[in-house]
Amino acid sequence: MIQASGLRKVYGETVALDGVDLHVRQGEIFGVLGQSGAGKSTLLRCVNVLERPTAGTVTVAGQELTSLTGQELNRARQRIGMIHQHFALLSSRTVAGNVAFPLEVMGVAKPERERRVAELLDLVGLSGKAGEHPARLSGGQKQRVGIARALAGNPSVLLSDEATSALDPGTTESILALLRRLNRELGLTILLITHEMNVVKSVCDSVAIMTGGRIEESGPIRELLARPGSRLAAELFPLPVPEPGTVTVTFTGQADEPVISHVVRKFDVDVSILGGALEEVAGSSVGRLRIALTGDESGAALSYLRERGLLVEVAA
Amino acid sequence: MTWDEMLPLLAEASGQTLQMVLWSTLFTILFGLPLGIALVGTDRDGLFPSRALHQVLGLVVNVGRSLPFIVLMIAVIPLTRLIVGTTIGTMAAVVPLTLGAVPFLARLVETALREVGRDVVQAAQAMGANRTTIVAKVLLPEALSGLIAGLTVTVVALISYSAMAGVIGGGGLGDLAIRYGYQRFETLLMIVTVVVLVVVVQLVQMLGDTLARRLSRR
């Protein structure tokens, strides 16, 4: 749905994007995770060409945006929704007026506009607030207006620029749940950028980890976690640097099986648990356990764990 | 001087001041508002960036702002003749008044427009709004409160400038105060004129403040 290849963005001496490839499939929620300054915001802005990349191409829904300018680009942007960290609502307009704005831009006639605004406000649960000004709304309500506004043009893609970073944890949850619902009900493809692992954990299907203008790893979350040396796993389960000889076991989906207990019973080994955590990620349980194995049958025990489909990494 | 003698003079002078201020305010908005928009728009991160144009406009505005009004009024006499057909009288004063106030308002418009968040403009761009739409439907409405405040200051400045219009025969309250109050020692008329000016400025400022407050939705 979104395909970016070889994206570079250079401001003077600073390289903000250093050859980024991104592939977001239709109907998924794709998260770009990174610290501030990693280039994720520039990446998002390149997707709807708010920033024109120095090199590389962006294709959204089959249309190459980087080759468009002027009116053609504006028309293409009308089919891409965007929500913002600080909501970016027009303070001089009411809630309904804000949602109507993109429809005015698109030249939708007034009766149709009013019908659509009512429908959109209903969708985000703000029907009672149509006549209020944004200054009187809470952060979560403002972002709901932002979302309704972003959906006005029936976009196939929604871009989210740190949409929950200015919100408290409870409100963040409810906005993420709304995004999840829109993703499922409308089949909306969402590309979001965030610095919060929590956001990735609770809504994303796929993730790209970004550092210094490059994507370090990217793909479906389940696949990434099952990959040896995964940055995502290391970030998600912040275990200390392993001592040589210790074993890190990653469970993806088998977290409720008593594998460790099986190992101890089947083989002549002792297991000491050094650390571990269990997380709910992309709708399933994922766990990581740091253990030390001692005993003659350690090797066999490790093979057994691998056969059970667990990712077993032995620190050298 | 009795009240019966003063009132017609005051009425005539007030009418002239009103005429000068109204016309020059109208023309000042007509030229100052687009100039202010251009100052913001041509800037580096503006909607239609142009380094050269930005510098030229900035220079023009600064030159306009640095000329004392009384000098400007004399300096533009040839232009006044060209536009109005005469160089003396109330309407002749409208030309220098407008020229003096346009750069002033333009700077205030610039400041007001810069108050509009970059993220709001970017959001509009992301929705596919073109530049005209962004100016008309985002920048101006969002800055309206600040624009009204700037216009209020400009109108007050115009009332003040118009006091000098007597130099080119423009008449008005300031001229009355100088000719009668100062040169003929009519102290009472001087005081009355000053009171009228103070009241008018107060009213303009109050009206502007109220409007600006009503329009502010932050």
Q: Does B137 touch chain A (CB under 8 A)?
A: yes
Residue A81 contacts residue A159 (beta carbons within 8 Å): yes
Task: Enumerate the CATH 3.40.50.300 domain ranges in chain A, comma separated.
Answer: 2-220
Q: What is the pLDDT of residue A241?
A: 81
DSSP result, A273-310: EEEEEEEEETTEEEEEEEEEEESTTHHHHHHHHHHTT-
pLDDT of residue A283 exceeding 80: no
Kind and range of the H or E element at B36?
helix B3-41
Q: pTM of the entire structure? A: 0.87
* Residue A227 confidence (pLDDT): 85
More confident: A160 or B218: A160
- Number of helical H runs and strand E runs in chain A: 11, 14
Q: Do A74 and B128 touch (CB under 8 A)?
A: yes
Top-confidence residue, A308 or A185: A185
Q: Does the domain at residues A2-220 carry the CATH identifier 3.40.50.300?
A: yes
Q: Do A133 and B217 touch (CB under 8 A)?
A: yes
Domain boundaries, chain B: 3-217
Q: Where are the alpha helices (DSSP H) in chain A?
A: 40-47, 70-77, 95-106, 110-123, 139-150, 169-186, 197-203, 221-225, 231-236, 259-266, 298-307
Q: Which tops the pLDDT comparison, A133 or A282?
A: A133
From the list B119, B120, B129, the residue facing A105 with the nearest CB is B129
State residue B150's pLDDT score.
96
Q: Is the pLDDT of residue A256 over 90?
A: no
Handedness of CA B56, B61, B67, B70 (dihedral sign): positive
Q: Residue A104's pLDDT band (boundaries 50, 70, 90)?
A: very high
Q: Write down the pLDDT at residue A159.
A: 97
Query: Which amino acid, residue A47?
Result: V
Chosen from A78, A90, A157, A160 to mutate, greatest number of chain B CBs within 10 A? A90
Q: pLDDT at residue A137 above 90?
A: yes
What strand order describes the sheet that includes A284-294?
Answer: A270-281, A284-294, A247-252, A311-314
* pLDDT at A255 (0 to 100): 61
Domain B3-217 has CATH 3.30.530.20: no
Q: Is the pLDDT of residue A284 over 80?
A: no
Q: Is B122 on the interface with A (CB under 8 A)?
A: yes
Read off the pLDDT of residues A162-176 as tens digits, 9 standing for 90 and up. 999 999 999 999 999
**Given this model, what pLDDT does residue A254 score?**
64
* Tens of pLDDT, residues B132-174: 999 999 999 999 999 999 999 999 999 999 988 888 888 899 8
Residues of chain A with CATH 3.30.70.260: 237-314
Tell me the pLDDT tens digit for each residue of B22-52. Answer: 999 999 999 999 999 999 999 998 899 999 9
Cβ proximity of B104 and B157 under 8 Å: yes
For the structural domain made of A237-314, what CATH number should be given?
3.30.70.260
A77 band by pLDDT with thresholds 50, 70 and 90: very high
Searching chain A, which residue's CA lies closest to the CA of residue B145?
Answer: A92
Total number of residues shown for chain A: 316
Confidence label for A260 from pLDDT (cuts 50, 70 and 90): confident
Exposed / middle / buried, residue A5 (Cβ in 10 Å: 0-12, 13-18, 19+): middle
Q: By three-state DSSP, how is residue B42 classified? A: coil
Q: What is the pLDDT of residue A226?
A: 82
What distance in Å separates the CA atoms of residue B43 and residue B139, rounded to the nearest whole number? 15
Enter the ipTM. 0.86
Nearest CA-CA partner of A47 in A5, A104, A97: A5
